[in-house]
Amino acid sequence: MGERLPGIIPGASYSRTPGVPDIISIGECMVELYATAPLPEATVFHRSFGGDSLNTLVAASRLGSSTGYITKVGDDPFAPGLLNGWQLERVDTSRVQVVPGYNGVYFVSVIPGGQREFTYYRSGSAASTLTPHDLDQSYIATSTILHVTGISQAISPSCRGAVLMACQMAKEAGVIVSYDLNLRPSLWPSLEDARSALEEIMPYLDIVFASTPDDTRGLIRLSEPEEVIHHFWDKGVKVVAVKTGGDGCAVGEASSGGMVTIPAPAVKVVDTTGAGDAFNGAFLHGIATGMDTVSAAALAVVTASLKVRGRGAVASLPSSDEVHPLWEKHLSTVRRSST
């Protein structure tokens, strides 16, 4: 095991193990097929890929973090493109298994009025067959941050078990565990199942991401960011970041009892797909590199704001060169307004 450095989150530590990613995630990345017309009329589709866990890793990778993915890929014709795409984004795929089966697909189409419509074909996909037995404990234990999501839990019962086991492995090793509620009611048998899945991993969580009101109203029956932050503090979570869309975010750190609201820079919005994942990746990159929570949250809102200027879950994620000048300016404004 590599050198462990003290972190800003009490009880956690920062890994500097050569060859081991800073940030690891578990989940499913699907094939994305995008059309500029409603599906019944569309004749041309642009292929890419996307999935909340992978989007988060790419966002962090583009800012400079080393990242790694734990998933399964079906051996269909899409598999080489998925793996090559992830590797081009410098995501470590050494723990990605290629297995018999198919990969999930989702269609993004534009409907009258300019709104986007999503159509998913993912039931029984290769990624949904992930189990606790597929986890490499040493890979998780020597990372800095393990990131999991409610979607990863919802894909299948075996994935839910894998997420729980990974969190237990990480906690035992002193690895920071982050979690995005990312509620998708259509993936769960009921809201009670989603709440149960959240409660079972709560003891292992250091960082929680929540979008209000979409996630929080359904899962914890709260909508106000301050209430959400206090709710998770009471559950033992150390850092809570509540995403409020175009308004930015509120972030709270339990050790200090302080909360800060961070507005988002004004931008022209083209596509909000994956904006929350961009936020997560930037925030975790900040934490992995030793930033305080306000600096990491400011980095996150800037990254998400730049991301929504372009189309797609991954293609429009900004680079470090794009983010950092705006982040430095935005952070100084935030700090002045909070003093």
**From the CB of residue 5, how many other CB atoms can be counted at a distance below 10 Å?**
11
3-class secondary-structure state, position 225:
helix
Question: Cis before residue 213, ω within 30 degrees of 0?
Answer: yes
Known catalytic membership, residue 234:
no
CB 187: neighbour CB atoms within 10 A? Answer: 18
Contact call for residues 283 and 241 (beta carbons, < 8 A): yes
Bridge-based pairing of strands 30-34 and 258-262 is unpaired
Give the Cβ contact number of residue 270 at 10 Å.
Answer: 13
Q: Among the options 180, 193, 277, 292, which is catalytic?
A: 277
C-alpha to C-alpha distance for 150 and 153, rounded to whole angstroms:
5
Residues taking part in catalysis = 277
